[in-house]
C-alpha cells in the first residue's frame, strides 16, 4: 500500500464496526449475549488498545453491571488481560485462536522466506495482504529502516481500491465483489486516488492483463506500490505481495520482476499448479 510520509490528506480508513448478523438480536430486539461479547472486543482499536471498565461499557453500549460480568468471564478465559493499572487489553488467548485462521499464520509462514528475499534484494517496505470484502487486511510486513514510512500494520485494514495489494486482489476477485467495488463509493485520499468506477474497471482489467498492480500516490503522493497476486492450491488468488517505495525516485517497471518472482515463489510454496509449471521459454537443466 502506498500510505506514507506525513499525515494523510484525508483521515486513514478505520476498521468497520461490527455488523449485526442473523440471530444476533434476541426475540425482544435486545442484543444477544454473543453480540454483547463481540461488542466488548470491538471496543478495542489500535488507537485505544487499553481501556478501563467504564470505557468498555460506554464504547460497547452496555450497562456497567453487564459489562463487568462479561469482562470478568472474558478475562478468566484469556480473551482479555488486566494490567497493573487496572486497564484491560486483548489477551493472548485470542492471538492463539487467530493463528488458526487459514489466511493468517499458515499463509504468513509459507510466504515469509520470499518476503525476506524481496526485502534483502530491495531494502524497501514489503507487505503481504488478503482481501476481506472491499478492504485488505495486512497479515505481514517487513519495514525497511531507511525506506519510506508506511502506516500499515499487521492486522490493519485499508480500502482495496486505493492500495497496490488491493488492486491486485480485486482484479481476481469474484465478479460480484468487483461490481460492488466499482459501484462505490470510492474514498478519496489524494488527487490521484481512483474515485471513478469506470477508472477502477479499467485498472482492474490492466492488472489482469499484466499480472501486476501499480498504485502511485493514491494514499500519499510521495509513495508508490507495486503488487502481484499470490495463488493457492486451487489456482485462485489468496493473497497479494507488494513493495512500497518513494514515488519520486522509483521506476515501477524496474520493481516488477522482483515482485512477480516473490509472488510466484509464495504461490509455489502453497502448491499452486500454475506456479509449479515451467515458465514459457524456460529450458530444462541438464
The vertex-90 CA angle with 104 and 96, nearest 5°, equals 40
| Domains identified in the chain and CATH numbers | 33-98 (1.10.10.10), 105-276 (3.30.450.40)
Mean pLDDT, residues 246-252: 79
How far apart, in whole angstroms, are the C-alpha atoms of residue 224 and residue 245?
Answer: 5
Contacts of the segment 29-37: beta carbons below 8 A, 24+ positions apart? 33/70, 36/60, 36/62, 36/66, 36/70, 37/70, 37/74
Query: What pTM did the predictor assign?
Result: 0.73
Taking 60 as the threshold, does the pLDDT of residue 192 lie above it?
yes
Q: For residue 284, name the pLDDT band (cuts at 50, 70, 90).
A: very low
Chain segment 85-102, per-residue pLDDT in tens: 999 999 988 888 877 776
Query: Alpha-carbon torsion 224, 230, 235, 237, what sign?
Result: negative
Question: Where does the chain show beta strands of DSSP type E?
Answer: 80-82, 88-90, 125-132, 135-142, 157-159, 213-216, 223-231, 237-246
Chain segment 42-87, per-residue pLDDT in tens: 999 878 999 999 999 999 999 999 999 999 999 999 999 999 999 9
Nearest to 180 by CA among 131, 218, 147: 131
Q: Is 50 in contact with 88 (CB distance < 8 Å)?
A: yes
Chain segment 117-158, per-residue pLDDT in tens: 999 998 889 999 999 999 999 999 888 777 776 667 777 889
Amino acid at each position: 500500500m502506498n500510505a506514507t510520509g506525513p499525515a494523510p490528506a484525508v483521515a486513514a480508513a478505520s476498521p468497520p464496526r461490527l455488523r449485526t448478523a442473523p440471530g444476533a438480536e434476541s426475540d425482544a430486539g435486545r442484543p444477544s449475549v454473543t453480540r454483547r461479547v463481540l461488542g466488548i472486543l470491538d471496543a478495542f482499536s489500535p488507537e485505544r488498545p487499553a481501556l478501563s471498565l467504564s470505557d468498555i461499557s460506554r464504547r460497547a453500549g452496555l450497562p456497567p453491571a453487564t459489562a463487568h460480568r462479561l469482562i470478568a468471564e472474558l478475562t478468566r478465559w484469556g480473551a482479555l488481560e488486566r494490567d497493573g493499572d487496572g486497564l484491560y487489553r486483548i489477551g493472548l488467548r485470542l492471538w492463539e485462536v487467530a493463528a488458526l485462521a487459514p489466511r493468517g499464520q499458515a499463509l504468513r509462514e509459507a510466504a515469509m522466506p520470499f518476503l525476506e528475499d524481496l526485502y534483502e534484494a530491495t531494502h524497501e517496505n514489503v507487505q503481504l495482504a488478503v482481501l476481506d470484502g472491499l478492504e485488505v487486511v495486512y497479515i505481514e510486513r517487513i519495514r525497511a529502516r531507511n525506506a519510506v514510512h508506511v502506516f500499515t500494520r499487521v492486522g490493519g485494514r485499508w480500502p482495496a481500491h486505493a492500495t497496490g495489494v488491493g488492486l491486485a486482489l480485486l482484479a481476481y476477485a469474484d465478479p460480484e465483489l468487483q461490481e460492488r467495488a466499482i459501484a462505490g463509493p470510492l474514498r478519496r485520499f489524494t488527487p490521484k486516488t481512483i474515485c471513478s468506477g469506470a477508472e477502477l474497471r479499467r485498472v482492474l482489467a490492466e492488472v489482469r492483463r499484466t499480472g501486476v498492480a501499480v498504485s502511485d500516490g493514491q494514499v500519499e503522493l510521495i509513495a508508490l506500490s507495486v503488487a502481484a497476486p499470490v495463488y493457492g492450491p486451487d489456482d485462485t488468488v489468496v493473497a497479494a505481495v507488494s513493495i512500497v517505495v518513494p514515488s519520486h525516485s522509483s521506476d515501477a517497471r524496474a520493481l516488477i520482476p522482483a515482485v512477480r518472482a516473490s509472488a510466484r515463489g509464495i504461490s509455489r510454496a502453497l502448491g499452486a499448479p500454475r506456479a509449479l509449471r515451467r515458465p514459457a521459454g524456460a529450458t530444462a537443466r541438464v
